[in-house]
Amino acid sequence: MKLLKKHFNAPYSFHGKSFIQHFILLVLLVVAILFTTPAHAQDKATEVDKIFNWATQETPGCACAVSQNGKTVVSRAYGSADLERNAPLTTNTIFDIGSLRKQFIAAAVLLLVDEKTLSLTEDIRTYLPELPDYGQKITLNHLLTHTSGLRDWTGMLPLANGKPEALTLILRQRGLNFKPGEEWSYSNSGYVLLTEIVARKTGMPFAEFMRKRLFEPLGLNSTSYVVDMTHVVKNRAMAYERQKDGNYKLDMYWGNDRGGGAILSTAQDLVLWNDALKNNKLGAFVTQKLQEPAQLNNGRKLSYARGLFLENYRGVKEVWHSGGAAGYHSWLGSFPEQNISIAVVCNSDAKPATGLAERIADLFVSYKTPQDLTAGPPPALTGDTLLEAKGKAGLFVQEQTGETMRLALDRDRLRIANGPGLVPVTKNRFKRHGAFVQYMSQDQFEINFLSPDQFELKTMEGKTVKYKRAEAYTPSPTDLQALSGRYTSEELGAFFDINPSKDGLLGKANDAAGPGFTLTPVKQDTFQLAGVTVRFVRDKAGKVVGLDYSNPVVRNIRFTKLGELTSRR
């Protein structure tokens, strides 16, 4: 600009050659100034194109958008929206955004809290009197932050007979996973209840509330809340699953029950949403509460807020969430300190949206540190340290609760199976690698081996619990026969048939087709299959009277034993 000012102030001769020379120079300078930034943006857009070069007209693909300082600098689409009709994805194509919907639902609730229509601290049974009384107060804030203890309906539905609606299934539950506020566990159930509460308090369908109070005021013209996914939606992409032979098949949730509904949107609308929150267009209270870290009863602050994850990646603050709905995959994030927003929405499982978004972020975000040591696996163990770690692997049982934890050696690293890696501090002491909220509520615990067969887990707050190595258990045929029978659950409206098998127990739910599933013994009366644990319950006389079923998002659903199966066909 200093050069421009200099030439504007120069004494030009309107009759001589110097005017022409200076005029040409001035034009060149203006052109250079006007087009330098777009050219730079164009270079980055070309790099974005390379990230998606796997998507063609013969495959599903993705759309993406990048906003910088409130201005869209990239808006692209790659691949096919409809393989049958050869329709390409465009920047106007609409996708099911999956769990990205949670931040929209949270914003709707916070709007009403800001208006004093709802309260974050009031017992939700004030709004939902038919919800069972668990003897514990559950608040709106518990629902918003996944600290309510409510069992996740998506972890119960596969077992439920007749596929009841999500709300019906939630209201049947007579127990919680944990005391509200004590832990963090991702629960779609909380957000189902939130949509119901908003609808009841406003007297209008949730979809209508979202349209009138969020989508239309913010100019999200391609975004809608849809209850019935079988309705025609203009410009919607079909979603697909890639088969082993390379072909694709449709993979979409067509049923009316999506836990209260789904949000459909475009990549462009999603970055507009981020920019609207950045500029407090729903009010400062909504934006602030959406990004305020959740806190447990013990004071521990979490890297989850209300519908959003909060992280610090390579020294830069990142606010994000991902989504998945059958074949649809999505990621939406912002880097508020640099005023950058990124959205990626895809219509197949060919490439994870999260990984694609991270590659786009690498093009636009200026990181403060060259790498994030907690993002990858811990360093591999070697020598005597590796040899000692091998002796520590195995199944351990918490002495107080009977909960199990399996330590495993994975590529020369000690880790918790289906959990984080463990980094050696001393010969017998290990600390957790990384502290992500999805495992043990972000507890930065340490494990101290008291002996090869016993360790003490110490939480970041100083609480200790002991684990003892599970003894090898091989049940006899008589033991297995005592466990066989039909078990029923009123909470799920479901039943299990349990029979002995050569490898443990054979289970079948609700007379499902096929051979059933095998439950492997891990200790007396406890059997497992992947992340599923079944614990048989006995009365005081030692007779088996029931079982408790648990999976990663559901704990201790009681099934009552009806009788032996020998009288059945």
Task: Decide: 322 and 307 in contact? Cβ < 8 Å.
Answer: no
Mean per-residue pLDDT over the chain, rounded: 90
CA distance to 162, 166, 361, per residue, from 364 (Å): 49, 40, 5
Give dist(CA 529, CA 27) in Å, integer: 73
Query: What is the biggest distance separating any 2 CA atoms in the chain, rounded to whole angstroms?
Result: 115
Structure tokens belonging to residue 31: 């052109």
Task: Decide: 530 and 553 in contact? Cβ < 8 Å.
Answer: no
pLDDT for the residue 514? 86
Structure tokens belonging to residue 333: 């994030």
- Three-class SS state of 442: helix
pLDDT for the residue 40? 61
Query: What count of other Cβ atoms lies within 10 Å of the Cβ of residue 43?
Result: 11
Residue 258 is given by DSSP the state S
What are the residues whose beta carbons fall under 8 Å from the beta carbon of 55, sequence distance 6 or more?
61, 62, 78, 79, 89, 350
Give dist(CA 552, CA 439) in Å, integer: 10
Strand order in the sheet with 262-265: 95-96, 262-265, 224-226
Per-residue pLDDT, averaged over 390-398, amounts to 95
Task: Decide: 66 and 344 in contact? Cβ < 8 Å.
Answer: no
Give dist(CA 147, CA 527) in Å, integer: 28
**Nearest CA to 227 among 261, 190, 266, 277?**
261
Task: Decide: 106 and 146 in contact? Cβ < 8 Å.
Answer: no
377 pLDDT above the threshold of 90: no
Instruction: Note the pTM of the prediction, 2 decimals.
Output: 0.90
Give dist(CA 291, CA 293) in Å, integer: 6
| pLDDT bracket for residue 565 (50, 70, 90) | low
**In terms of pLDDT, which residue wins out, 444 or 472?**
444
* 26-35, 85-94, 262-271, 306-315: range with lowest mean pLDDT: 26-35
Give dist(CA 141, CA 106) in Å, integer: 10
Per-residue pLDDT, averaged over 328-340, amounts to 97
- CA 256 from chain center: how many Å? 22
Give dist(CA 505, CA 436) in Å, integer: 35
**Nearest CA to 127 among 143, 103, 105?**
143
7 pLDDT above the threshold of 90: no
pLDDT for the residue 515? 86
* 73-77, 175-179, 345-349, 396-400: range with lowest mean pLDDT: 396-400
Which amino acid is it at 520?
T
Give dist(CA 108, CA 117) in Å, integer: 11
Q: For residue range 277-313, list pLDDT tens digits in order.
A: 999 999 999 999 999 999 999 999 999 999 999 999 8
pLDDT for the residue 2? 33
Give dist(CA 149, CA 168) in Å, integer: 17
What are the residues whose beta carbons fall under 8 Å from the beta carbon of 375, sequence distance 6 or more?
313, 434
Share of the chain above pLDDT 70, in %: 91
**Tokens 């043990």, located at residue:** 440
- Three-class SS state of 224: strand
155 pLDDT above the threshold of 80: yes
Give dist(CA 41, CA 68) in Å, integer: 10
pLDDT for the residue 256? 58
pLDDT for the residue 281? 98
Per-residue pLDDT, averaged over 358-375, amounts to 90
Q: For residue range 449-481, list pLDDT tens digits in order.
A: 999 999 999 999 999 999 999 998 999 999 999
Per-residue pLDDT, averaged over 433-451, amounts to 95
Q: For residue range 186-219, list pLDDT tens digits in order.
A: 999 999 999 999 999 999 999 999 999 999 999 9
Q: For residue range 336-347, list pLDDT tens digits in order.
A: 999 999 999 999
pLDDT for the residue 21? 44
Per-residue pLDDT, averaged over 76-80, amounts to 98
Give dist(CA 356, CA 386) in Å, integer: 35
- Three-class SS state of 397: strand
Give dist(CA 99, CA 307) in Å, integer: 9
- CA 270 from chain center: how many Å? 17
Mark 323-358 as b/e (b = at least 16 C-beta within 10 Å): bbbbbbbbbbbbbbeeebbbbbbbbbbbbebbebbb
**Tokens 């091989």, located at residue:** 474
Task: Decide: 149 and 136 in contact? Cβ < 8 Å.
Answer: yes
Give dist(CA 188, CA 152) in Å, integer: 5
32 pLDDT above the threshold of 90: no
**In terms of pLDDT, which residue wins out, 377 or 250?**
250
Task: Decide: 346 and 266 in contact? Cβ < 8 Å.
Answer: no
Give dist(CA 152, CA 551) in Å, integer: 10
13 pLDDT above the threshold of 90: no
Per-residue pLDDT, averaged over 118-137, amounts to 97
User: What is the sign of the dihedral through the CA atoms of 519, 520, 525 and 526?
Assistant: negative
135 pLDDT above the threshold of 60: yes
DSSP for 356-369, please give it: HHHHHHHHH---SS
What are the residues whose beta carbons fall under 8 Å from the beta carbon of 135, sequence distance 6 or more?
none
Q: For residue range 508-534, list pLDDT tens digits in order.
A: 999 888 889 999 999 999 999 988 999
11 pLDDT above the threshold of 50: no
What are the residues whose beta carbons fall under 8 Å from the beta carbon of 355, sequence distance 6 or more?
none
pLDDT for the residue 566? 46
Burial status of residue 499 (CB atoms within 10 A of its CB: 0-12, 13-18, 19 or more): middle
- Three-class SS state of 189: helix
| pLDDT bracket for residue 150 (50, 70, 90) | very high
Helices and strands: H and E segment counts in the chain: 12, 29
